[in-house]
């Protein structure tokens, strides 16, 4: 284990240094055969101003819930190599049983493709998820079929659908449906609202594709043209969107301690959104980002800290900038991991314009409702 980590640190350090110092990279397995992946070449990694609020907090009386620089903060980001080491060392080992379980999820759909689209729903999100299925079938997949040579598939996780919903999916769905194995995981994974299951699904599928799309059931594609998304993911490895809120206000203290980050250092960052994240199958993405996310899900002090972590969700959406006043579970973890690894440059993972949307609670009838 130790050996693997050392090897990883060494190889990833080169990667990270490249990323931090030179800004542009060429990955080995470019899945993006039609959309021109060289489009971003030469674009150096800079701080995207719109995705960071660097005005100092006391001068910011009007924007109460938004990010701002905490002028009292004495913490600073350590050098890249140390950051990478810290994040790798934060990963508590997962048991062999759990590792195997994650591997076996993807084994059920073992064909390798360029792009995997992964979503999940329980009974009360079944209708909402149909809006996503409709967009994929009517916008995204036709674009991929007619404009690219990429292979792709959709995997739908059953997080507790009703019997009739399962039967409808089995009958009408043109995609794979996998039941999430709650009974073989710690009981904390039954906290559906924390999305603690999400990192496991991403890890399971990442290595069987070039690019993995995570999509919440409420996510909608405004346009099927994925060219810009694929270009970004091919060039820098990941894509995520953001909210308007200050990040460290929405991260519970145990998670900050787990990742050894001071909240004031994160105060200029916006919270990142967990509803749509695109990952490139690449060593640093796998081992530093996704494995940290998965380890955090399994740790009692990270994604869902304490006995009743769902309580921490309350009180997020108001103007109070108090650090750790609430918690957003999977998306808090992802933002802390990205900021810890890439400092201000994490803003590069947020595209300037993204043709997607979230419609929480929107119910669309797409699949037939009769068997
Ligand atoms: C990709 O873009 C580069 C530079 O913009 C261009 O020279 C090249 O012809 C393009 N390749 C394809 C296949 O479109
Ligand atoms: C934020 O502002 C401080 C003080 O003006 C400056 O030193 C720092 O470089 C800025 N950071 C970024 C990422 O712009
Ligand atoms: C910084 O410290 C001063 C003095 O303790 C305090 O008045 C001020 O509110 C602090 N600022 C922030 C942003 O916490
Ligand atoms: C799943 O794949 C792993 C390696 O990727 C293999 O060790 C395991 O036996 C497979 N399990 C099944 C059920 O095929
Ligand atoms: C989903 O839609 C079906 C069909 O219109 C309806 O019977 C059902 O109550 C809806 N479920 C929820 C959770 O809203
Ligand atoms: C898809 O989007 C790219 C830029 O993001 C654009 O250059 C291209 O023309 C679009 N393709 C279609 C078919 O609309
Ligand atoms: C902000 O939130 C914290 C933690 O929930 C609470 O203790 C504090 O009273 C709140 N401040 C205001 C001004 O509402």
Ligand 3 atom nearest the C-alpha of 70 is: 13
101 contacts 184 by C-beta, under 8 angstroms:
yes
What are phi and psi for residue 108, nearest 5 degrees? Answer: -65, -15
Q: What confidence tier does 16 reach under pLDDT thresholds 50, 70, 90?
A: low
The pLDDT tens digits for 233-263 are 999 999 999 999 999 999 999 999 999 999 9
Task: Quote the percentage of the chain above a pLDDT of 90.
Answer: 70
What are phi and psi for residue 221, nearest 5 degrees? Answer: -90, 125
| Of 222, 227, 228, best ligand 6 pocket probe by most atoms within 8 Å of the beta carbon | 227
Q: How far apart are CA 338 and CA 332, in angstroms?
A: 10
326 contacts 312 by C-beta, under 8 angstroms:
yes
Cα 284 to ligand 6 centre (Å): 29
Residue 62 carries which DSSP code? T
Cα 52 to ligand 7 centre (Å): 24
**DSSP reduced 3-state for 214:** strand
**Two tokens at 168?**
């409808």
User: Which pTM does this prediction carry?
Assistant: 0.86
- What is the average pLDDT across 131-135? 96
210 contacts 190 by C-beta, under 8 angstroms:
no
Residue nearest to atom 3 of ligand 5 (CA): 127
Residue nearest to atom 11 of ligand 4 (CA): 104
Please indicate whether residue 72, judged by its CB atom, sits closer than 6 Å to ligand 3.
yes
Task: Quote the percentage of the chain above a pLDDT of 70.
Answer: 86
**DSSP reduced 3-state for 91:** coil
Q: How far apart are CA 180 and CA 102, in angstroms?
A: 10
Q: How far apart are CA 172 and CA 297, in angstroms?
A: 33
| Of 72, 75, 322, best ligand 3 pocket probe by most atoms within 8 Å of the beta carbon | 72
Q: How far apart are CA 270 and CA 347, in angstroms?
A: 9
Q: What confidence tier does 14 reach under pLDDT thresholds 50, 70, 90?
A: very low
**Two tokens at 139?**
């916008």
Residue nearest to atom 11 of ligand 6 (CA): 225
User: Which residue has better confidence, 20 or 196?
Assistant: 196
> Where does ligand 5 bind, in terms of residues with CB under 6 Å?
124, 127, 363, 365, 369
Q: What confidence tier does 4 reach under pLDDT thresholds 50, 70, 90?
A: very low
Residue nearest to atom 13 of ligand 2 (CA): 344
Q: What is the pLDDT of residue 32?
A: 25
Please indicate whether residue 322, judged by its CB atom, sits closer than 6 Å to ligand 7.
yes
Q: Give the pairing type, strands 152-158 and 113-121.
A: parallel
The pLDDT tens digits for 72-91 are 999 999 998 899 999 999 99
Q: What is the pLDDT of residue 48?
A: 83
Ligand at shortest distance from the CA of 326: 7
The pLDDT tens digits for 314-344 are 888 888 899 999 999 999 999 999 999 999 9
Residue nearest to atom 13 of ligand 7 (CA): 320
Mean pLDDT of the chain: 86
263 contacts 248 by C-beta, under 8 angstroms:
yes
What are phi and psi for residue 241, nearest 5 degrees? Answer: -110, 180
> Where does ligand 2 bind, in terms of residues with CB under 6 Å?
47, 54, 69, 344
- DSSP per residue, 197-265: THHHHHHHHHTTEEEEEEE-TTEEES-S--HHHHHHHHHHSEEEEEEEEEGGGGS-HHHHHHTT--GGG
Ligand at shortest distance from the CA of 267: 3
Q: What confidence tier does 45 reach under pLDDT thresholds 50, 70, 90?
A: low
Cα 70 to ligand 1 centre (Å): 44
Torsion angle defined by CA atoms of residues 301, 307, 309 and 312, in that order, rounded to the nearest 10 degrees:
-100
Cα 225 to ligand 1 centre (Å): 18
């Amino acid at each position: 284990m130790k050996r693997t980590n050392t090897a990883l640190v060494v190889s990833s350090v080169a990667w990270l240094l490249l990323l931090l110092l030179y800004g542009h990279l060429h990955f080995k397995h470019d899945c993006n055969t039609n959309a021109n992946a060289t489009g971003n070449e030469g674009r150096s990694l800079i701080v995207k101003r719109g995705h960071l609020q660097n005005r100092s907090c006391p001068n910011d009386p009007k924007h109460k819930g938004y990010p701002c620089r905490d002028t009292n903060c004495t913490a600073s980001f350590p050098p890249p190599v140390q950051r990478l080491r810290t994040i790798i060392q934060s990963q508590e080992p997962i048991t062999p049983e759990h590792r195997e379980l994650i591997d076996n999820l993807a084994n059920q759909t073992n064909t390798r493709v360029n792009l995997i689209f992964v979503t999940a729903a329980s009974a009360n999100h079944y209708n909402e998820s149909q809006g996503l299925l409709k967009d994929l079938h009517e916008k995204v997949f036709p674009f991929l079929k007619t404009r690219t040579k990429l292979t792709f598939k959709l995997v739908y996780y059953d997080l507790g659908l009703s019997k009739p919903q399962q039967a409808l999916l089995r009958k009408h769905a043109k995609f794979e449906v996998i039941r999430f194995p709650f009974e073989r995981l710690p009981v904390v994974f039954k906290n559906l609202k924390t999305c603690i299951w999400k990192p496991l699904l991403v890890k399971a599928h990442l290595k069987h594709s070039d690019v993995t799309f995570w999509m919440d059931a409420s996510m909608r594609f405004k346009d099927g043209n994925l060219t810009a998304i694929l270009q970004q993911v091919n060039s820098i490895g990941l894509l995520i969107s953001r909210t308007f809120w200050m990040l460290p206000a929405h991260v519970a203290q145990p998670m900050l301690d787990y990742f050894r980050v001071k909240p004031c250092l994160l105060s200029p960052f916006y919270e990142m959104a967990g509803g749509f994240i695109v990952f490139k199958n690449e060593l640093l993405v796998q081992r530093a980002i996704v494995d940290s996310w998965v380890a955090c899900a399994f740790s009692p002090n990270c994604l869902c800290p304490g006995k009743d972590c769902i309580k921490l969700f309350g009180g997020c959406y108001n103007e109070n900038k108090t650090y750790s006043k609430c918690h957003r579970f999977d998306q808090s973890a992802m933002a802390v991991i990205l900021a810890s690894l890439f400092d201000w440059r994490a803003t590069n993972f947020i595209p300037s314009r993204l043709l997607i949307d979230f419609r929480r609670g929107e119910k669309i009838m797409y699949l037939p409702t009769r068997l």
